[in-house]
Structure 1
Amino acid sequence: MAGKAIRTVTVRGVTIGEGSPKVIAPLTGSSPEQLRSQVDALLDVRPDLAEWRADHFAPLSDTAAVTATARELTGRLAGIPLLFTCRTRAEGGQAEIDDEAYGELNTAVIRSGHADLVDVEYRRASGVVRRIVEAAHGHGVPVIASNHDFSGTPEKDEIVARLREMQELGADICKIAVMPRSAADVLTLLDATRTMHEEYADRPLITMAMGGLGLVSRLAGRVFGSAATFGMVGTASAPGQIDVTELRTVLEVLDRAV
């Protein structure tokens, strides 16, 4: 199958899927006060997008508090798009939340109008995932379907299959993160990204190998077809993230070469 034209995703003037990989920085505060401090630090370097990792937020079970905080973050970010993510413990996050509550939380944030994108763990209950995707698209909010494998690195064909499932689900961006145990595992992730991008993808991909071994995938993902990468401003949200300023320096070198 020949590669297809990529249907880019644009939020607040930031286009994912063309040009240099977009830099996403996490916000992981457990309270509104901590989040405000993190936003202030983030504004000094202005990543392309901010990801609110709401699973770190202490009042996560209080939907009104979550939506109110999303509203405040959107205002304080001064035009930087906000990605809303509630990462569950099963996929490396902090949230212990059942499928129905997960769906209700994400849907409430979508309907509030205070998230520019939403991350959905695509292997949760299929009916819940479909409802979130439908709600997001009904409100003009792009969806990142995601899968995080902390147990290891699946075979190349399995990585490609998962990304294709996300695409078929209707996600606007397909994301996978794996945990490499060897350099060969990193190559597997990168080759799967290349194959998906060149042969099947019609929308942006975000892929990475986590941890120190996988750092090269965060830096050089563009070469293989990854459209965004995650860097930290003070606090990392996943193993292997490096400082946004250092990350941008490397991306600029690659931009000139590519």
Structure 2
Amino acid sequence: MSFEKKKVAVNDQTFLTLVNKGLSEEDVIKQAQEIKKLQPEMMEWRIDYFKDVVLMNRLLEVANKVKTIMDKTPILITFRSKKFGGKTELDSEDAYLNLVKIAIDFKLGNAIDIEHDHVSDRIAGLIQDAKAKELGVVLS
């Protein structure tokens, strides 16, 4: 299994990151296990690929399993909208912003990727929330 590799700047630190693009819970778990063996500095979980991304209880359940697998390896949570090359489109700006808020509030990972091309006052609030929860922030 081969994974997309990229360098990601989180706050003022750069991490060599492997990307998990699992479609089902089984895929996400299997990829997390494989990525963990490769010992990257960080794993990016592209939740826009996860077919149950809009089912919050499923997202939280799988996120907890992924955190257990990754243990001390930081996880970057990313939802990429279709217009930015993502897999899933949410039905509104609010849906995207609410999903990011949930990812922050429930600490699905150690860092959150926030698309800056959204309502600026809400983005500023999300960044503030992430920092208050001691999460790293990536603006894309």
TM-score range, shorter-chain basis?
Answer: 0.7 to 0.9
Q: Report what 2:81 is aligned to.
A: 88
Q: Which amino acid aligns with 1:120?
A: I
Instruction: Give the partner amino acid of 1:114.
Output: L
Q: Could you give the per-residue CA deviations for residues 127-170 of structure 1, whole angstroms, max 9, x where no partner exists?
A: 33122212212211121001xxxxxxxxxxxxxxxxxxxxxxxx
The match for 2:19 is 26
Alignment of 1:16 with 2:17, yes or no, is: no
Displacement, 1:30?
Answer: 0.9
Matched, 1:110 2:107: no
Distance in 1, matches of 2:57 and 2:95, equals 14
* Partner residue in 2 for 1:138: 132
User: What is the alpha-carbon distance in structure 1 between the residues aligned to residue 120 and residue 47 of structure 2?
Assistant: 22
TM-score (norm 1): 0.48
- Check conservation: 1:100, 1:128, Cα contact below 8 A: no
Q: Which runs of 5+ in 1 are unaligned?
A: 1-7, 10-14, 147-258
Shift of 1:123: 0.9
Measure how far apart 1:99 and its partner are: 1.4
How far apart are 1:83 and its partner, in Å?
A: 0.2
Partner deviation per Cα, 1:77-105 (whole Å, 9 max, x = no partner): 12110000000101011121221111111
Kindly indicate whether the alpha-carbon contact (under 8 Å) linking 1:88 and 1:94 is maintained by their aligned counterparts in 2. Answer: yes
What is the CA RMSD across the aligned residues, in angstroms? 1.6
- 2:93 is matched with 99
Aligned length: 130
Q: Is the 8 A contact 1:118 1:143 kept in 2?
A: yes
Ranges of 4+ aligned residues in structure 1 off by more than 2 Å: none
Q: Percent identity?
A: 22
In 1, Cα distance between equivalents of 2:61 and 2:103 = 9
Within the candidate set 66, 69, 72, 2:59 is matched to 66
Note if 1:41 corresponds to 2:34: yes
Q: Which digits, 9 at most, give the CA deviation of each residue in 1:226-252, with x for residues without a partner?
A: xxxxxxxxxxxxxxxxxxxxxxxxxxx
Offset of residue 33 of structure 1: 0.4
Question: Does structure 1 conserve the Cα–Cα contact (< 8 Å) formed by 2:36 and 2:69?
Answer: no
Length-normalised TM-score, structure 2: 0.85
Give the structure 1 partner of residue 119 of structure 2: 125
Which runs of no fewer than 5 residues in structure 2 stay unpaired?
A: 1-9
Q: Looking at CA atoms only, which structure, 1 or 2, has the larger radius of gyration? A: 1
